[in-house]
């Protein structure tokens, strides 16, 4: 499907990609004032849609933004947009911004939030990355404290992550680890982090300042169902360097093995057995083969 045939949802209308426009006075654009979600369509089903919608509403509530649609209406809009694009494997970007206001940053001047849903083919890491694993680096930029800009909120204000990404680009790595002010490992720029030590999965707890990823939650559940211990506990770079295995989780990237950090080889320097087993399990689950994710919504017509 060519780019020009894409249908984009804007404020209740499905329009051609070339017609999809928002105001230059939209505070999503001017100030990063808004919230968003990234969601996957696997095998004709929207994966964990309700979990994503619930998180969008929580992020919006936290910034005192009223989503101008009910949860049911937004769910229907997502399904309608996916169907209109005729894709059975896709990435969905849902954005609710504060809407058009004036040049002052006061959200009270924005009367109508903007709702956008984009559905596109997915562009993730090349297959080699999943085979070989990727190199990580810890970066100087810190994840903000919960009382500054709480990373639990998935807002349009991603400059903290972008600065970390720039740091990563300078270091020549495709993803980074961000620490919080206390030096605990938090997450990547768009992914959560897990390590494996002595057969147990360890992932930073939400209170260190992370986005509580839907993929993270799924992987924790799948790992426990497979009989692995999972500990949500503080992680230092020392723990990362000395892990047996490591991987990242995120909607776009899914599960990606990490094989080094700051030049220190993690484990054998190859994707580890637990990472590989869990990745296989995740893919089967996401695609609805075997046990179907109960809250996946079928869009295939």
**Segment lying near ligand PMP (by CB under 6 A), choices 118-126, 214-222, 274-282, 287-295:** 214-222
Q: Rule CB under 6 A: which of 54-113 touch ligand PMP?
A: none
Chain residues 173-192 in contact with ligand PMP, contact rule CB under 6 A: 187, 190-192
State yes or no: is 48 an active-site residue. Answer: no
CA nearest to 255, candidates 242, 269, 245, 240: 245
CB of 120 to ligand PMP, least distance (A): 15
Helix (H) or strand (E) holding 9: strand 7-10
The residue among 249 and 279 lying less far from ligand PMP, judged by its C-beta, is 249
Would you count residue 38 as binding ligand PMP (CB under 6 A)? yes
Closest CB to ligand PMP among residues 114, 157: 157
Q: What is the C-alpha separation between 49 and 179, in angstroms, rounded?
A: 29
**Which residue number is nearest to ligand PMP in terms of Cβ?**
213
Q: How far is the CB of 98 from ligand PMP (least distance, A)?
A: 20
All residues at 6 or more sequence positions from 253 whose CB lies less than 8 Å from its CB, including other chains: 124, 125, 190, 191
CB of 60 to ligand PMP, least distance (A): 15
Could you tell me the two tokens for 243?
């892990």
Answer for which of 97, 155, 251, 296 binds ligand PMP (CB under 6 A) is 251
Marked catalytic residue, from 7, 48, 61, 154: 154
Whether the CA torsion 223, 225, 227, 229 is positive or negative: it is positive
Q: Which of 246, 293, 239, 241 is nearest to 274 (CA)?
A: 246
- Phi (first) and psi of residue 5, to 5 degrees: -95, -5
The residue ranges that bind ligand PMP (CB under 6 A) are 38, 161, 187, 190-192, 211, 213-216, 249-251
């Amino acid at each position: 499907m060519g780019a020009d045939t894409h249908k984009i949802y804007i404020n209740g209308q499905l329009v051609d990609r070339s017609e999809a426009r928002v105001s230059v006075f939209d505070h999503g654009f001017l100030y990063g004032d808004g919230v968003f979600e990234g969601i996957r369509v696997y095998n004709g089903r929207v994966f964990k849609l309700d979990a994503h919608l619930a998180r969008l509403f929580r992020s919006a509530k936290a910034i005192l933004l009223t989503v101008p649609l009910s949860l049911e209406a937004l769910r229907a809009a997502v399904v309608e947009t996916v169907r209109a694009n005729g894709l059975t494997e896709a990435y969905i970007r849902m954005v609710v911004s504060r809407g058009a206001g004036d040049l002052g940053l006061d959200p009270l001047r924005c009367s109508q939030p903007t709702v956008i849903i984009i559905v596109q083919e997915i562009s993730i890491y090349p297959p080699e990355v999943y085979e070989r694993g990727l190199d990580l680096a810890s970066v100087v930029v810190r994840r903000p404290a919960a009382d500054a800009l709480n990373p639990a909120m998935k807002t349009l204000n991603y400059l903290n992550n972008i600065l970390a990404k720039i740091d990563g680009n300078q270091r020549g790595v495709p993803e980074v680890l961000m620490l919080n002010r206390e030096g605990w490992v938090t997450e990547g720029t768009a992914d959560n982090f897990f390590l494996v030590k002595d057969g147990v999965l360890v992932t930073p707890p939400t209170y260190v300042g992370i986005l509580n990823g839907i993929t993270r939650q799924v992987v924790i559940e799948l790992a426990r169902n497979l009989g692995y211990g999972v500990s949500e506990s503080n992680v230092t770079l020392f723990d990362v360097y000395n892990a047996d295995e490591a991987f990242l989780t995120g909607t776009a990237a899914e599960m990606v093995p990490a094989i080094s950090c700051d030049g220190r080889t993690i484990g054998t320097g190859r994707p580890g057995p637990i990472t590989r087993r869990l990745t296989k399990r995740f893919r089967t689950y996401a695609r609805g083969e075997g046990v179907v994710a109960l809250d996946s919504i079928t869009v295939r017509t």
